[in-house]
Structure 1
Amino acid sequence: MLTFEAFSGINNVLPERRMTGKDLVRAVNVDIGLTGEISRRGGYALLADGCHKNLHQAAGYLLATCGAALTAIQPDGARHIIHPALGPERVWYCNLPGGRTTYSNGLIHGVTDGLTGVERSVPAPAGLGAPDVAFGALHPGQYRYHLTHVRLADRLEGPAISSDPVTIAQGGLRLDGLPQREGHALNVYLSGKDGEGAYLAGTATDSSFEFTGHNAQLVLPCRTLGAQAFPVGTITAFWRGRVLTAVGDVLWASRPSAPHLADWRDFKPLGAPITAIQPVDDGVYVGTTQDLVFLGGTTWDALSFTPTRRGPVVAGSGVAAPGDRIKLGEGTGAGTAMLCIAGGEVVAGFAGGQTASLTANSYRTTAREVCATFREVDGVPQYLAVPQ
């Protein structure tokens, strides 16, 4: 049996001739304790046969792609098909408050509660239909009308599209040829007499709609006017009421408390493809193929860009971790921290943009993409990164 009086870790940086008896070049199927003790890693138990990919632990259920289908597996073993044809490619997840989880493969995205799945966004209507005259009580003048889809399953309302000014001379407005979408109704909004604002005129359930009421009936404003459907991204995170997602080299943010909507101005170019998004207490760490960046602040508009110069970040390597379980100097950190692989080293990031390499001068990896997580086993914190 191999015995170590003290163990400093795995070292694949120094030449073997310069290593001491405290170093290992490789360690397979072992766990390292808090005081450097080495023990055999626990074995495996078969939970389910078949191919399960893209595993993710959501709030009370497990998500996995089985074949092409995204499947939710309940603790009692019950299975629910969330999306029948998501495909075998990598899926990126984000747990939301309340137990829901978003999923995206870069082409298809949605949200699930572990029982059913729906699209994460509600699209804007495909057209405006055709306006026509009608008799009614509106003041004669110029008006605009606006249309939005409303999903019947959860009453989620999508972005609005707006018409050019329409002359209403006889007090009423009729719309024909309205766009229809299965599982959705269509909200119709009217502006004030001078074309400003957008106020609910009614809901259309077929291709026609008519409003003959008075201006005083137009009181409920359209809250999705000026918004757009949240873009289909890849890496996703939840931060201060917003959902963040990576679309190439651009970081997008949803509207606060509205993960299905985004405003045209709520994006930040990072200058290189994004590989990790990990919030901390006072900002967001964003990994790219060039560097690990700290966006410091507590509001989206005021985030400040600070490069850490830690080097390129491996795709999928960013995870959250409790700061008090991560080494920082001679002690530990505090609050929410993050771990990632930057510049080939395992790097920890803390509040304020402070970073520390946990494997400097001892371990480097050449992995290009991983699936990573942080866990504790028998009180021992572990960062796991499985090459993809």
Structure 2
Amino acid sequence: MLTFKGFTGINNVLPERRMAGGDLLAATNVDFGLTGEVTRRAGLVQQSAHCHQNLHQAPGFLLATSGGALVAMHPDGARHTIHPALGPDRVWYCDLPDGRVCFSNGLIHGVTDGITGVERSVPVPGSLGAADAAFGALEPGQYRYHLSFVRLADRLEGPAISSEPLELAQGGLRLDGLPMLEGHGLNVYLSSRSGEGAYLAGTALGGSWEFAGGNAQLVLPCRTLEAEPFPVGTITAYWRGRVLVAQGNVLWASRPMAPHLCDWRDFKALQGRITAIQPVDNGIYVGTEHDLVFLAGTDWGQLAHVPTLRGPVVLGSGVQAPGHSLKLGDGTGAGQAMLCIAGGEVVAGFSGGQTESLTDKRWRTEVTQVSAAFREVDGLPQYLAVPV
């Protein structure tokens, strides 16, 4: 058994000849306690003989890829296939407040409740069909019509497309050759007589549809007008009712409380490829291949760009952590915080944009991509970063 009079931690920065008796170059399969005690790490228990990758502990179930498929494993032993062919690429996850989980590999994205999986977004109709006049009770004048797909399973509605103004002299509208999508209906909206607005006129379930009602029936407005499908990206996070996703060096935000929609202006371009996204109480830490950046504020449109000058952030190293478990100055932090590997060191980020290196002048790494997590074992906070 190894005994230290005063263990001071791992040190792979100083030359070995300059290390004190309480330093270690490396330690394998051991845990270090809050007072420096060294204990053997608990053993492993095999849960499955199958090869599993891209593990994510969601509320109530475990997600993983196995044989290219995304599966959900439940505590009672039940397994559900969420996506049959997600492929071998790395999968990024994001927990939503309602218990569902977003997943994406950069090409395919979706949402799951642990039982089934659906596409995260609803596509835009590919055409407007062909419009013709019909008899009806609409006031004669110019109208526009708008089309949007609505998923029948959960009534999720996608972005709408709009027609040019049409002259309706006979009070009715008929549409033929409408786009169709399996498992979806097509919501049809009509404008007021002036061509302004968009109000639900009905739902088409086939290639043709006709409206003969009056203007008083047009009441429910279209909520997805001028929206776009939420882009497919990689690293994903949830912040103040919005889902955030990275696409190269661009950070996108969904519409509030609508993770399947976004607006064309809701993006922020950063210098360098995004490698981490970690929200805190009053801002968002975004790691890039050049620096760790703090976007300060609580309103997406008013976020202020604050560089931390901590250096490049390792892909996948960003995790959420409680501030009271992380060192800040001579004490600990508070509130929601984050951990990442920036400039080769483990760095903690707190609300307000304050950061602190937890391994300054003691430990550095040259890894370029990890799978990271924060946990507490018997009250001991642990940051795990496994090279990928």
Shared topology, TM-score over 0.5?
yes
Matches within 5 A, 1:53-202: 53-202=53-202
Give the stretch that moved more between structures: 332-341 or 163-172: 163-172
In structure 1, stretches of 5+ residues that fail to align are: none
Match of 1:52 in 2: 52
Partner amino acid for 1:283?
G
C-alpha distance in structure 2 between counterparts of 1:374 and 1:237, whole Å: 16
Give the partner amino acid of 2:207. S
CA distance in 2, matches of 1:7, 1:347: 22
Q: How far has the Cα of 1:123 moved from its partner?
A: 0.7
Mapped partners of 1:271, 1:39: distance in 2: 43
Distance 1:194 1:33 in 2: 72
Counterpart residue type for residue 199 of structure 2: Y
Which residue is 2:306 aligned to? 306
Instruction: Give 1:38's aligned amino acid.
Output: V
Tell me whether 13-22 or 347-356 shows the greater mean CA deviation.
Answer: 13-22
Residue type of the partner of 2:65?
A: T
TM-score (ref. length: structure 1): 0.99
C-alpha displacement at 1:137, in angstroms?
1.3
Q: How far is 1:74 from its partner?
A: 0.4
Alignment of 1:371 onto 2:377: no
TM-score for the superposition, normalised by structure 2: 0.99
Q: Per-residue displacement from partner, 1:290-334 (whole Å, max 9, x unpaired)? A: 000000111111111000000000000000000000011110000
Provide the C-alpha distance between the structure 1 equivalents of 2:98 and 2:235, rounded to a whole number of angstroms: 20
Corresponding residue of 2:204: 204
SS at match of 1:216: helix
Structure 1 residue 187, shift from structure 2 partner:
0.3
CA-CA distance at 1:381 after TM superposition: 0.4
> Which deviations, in whole Å up to 9, do the C-alpha atoms of 1:130-174 show, x marking residues without a partner?
001101111211111000000011000000000111111111110
- Which residue of 2 is the match for residue 32 of structure 1? 32
- 4+ long deviations beyond 4 Å: none
Q: Residue 355 of structure 2 corresponds to which residue in structure 1?
A: 355
Q: Distance in 2 between the 1:141 and 1:256 partners?
A: 36
Q: Separation in 2 of the partners of 1:384 and 1:68? A: 25
Matching residue's letter, 2:182? E
Give, in whole Å, the separation in 2 of the partners of 1:195 and 1:9. Answer: 71
The amino acid across from 1:386 in the alignment is V
Aligned-pair distance for 1:2?
2.2
Deviation at 1:31, TM superposition (A): 0.4
Structure 1 equivalent of residue 3 of structure 2: 3
Number of residue pairs aligned between Structure 1 and Structure 2: 388
Stretch moving more, 164-173 or 279-288: 164-173
The alignment yields a C-alpha RMSD, in angstroms, of 0.6
What SS is found at the alignment partner of 1:17? helix
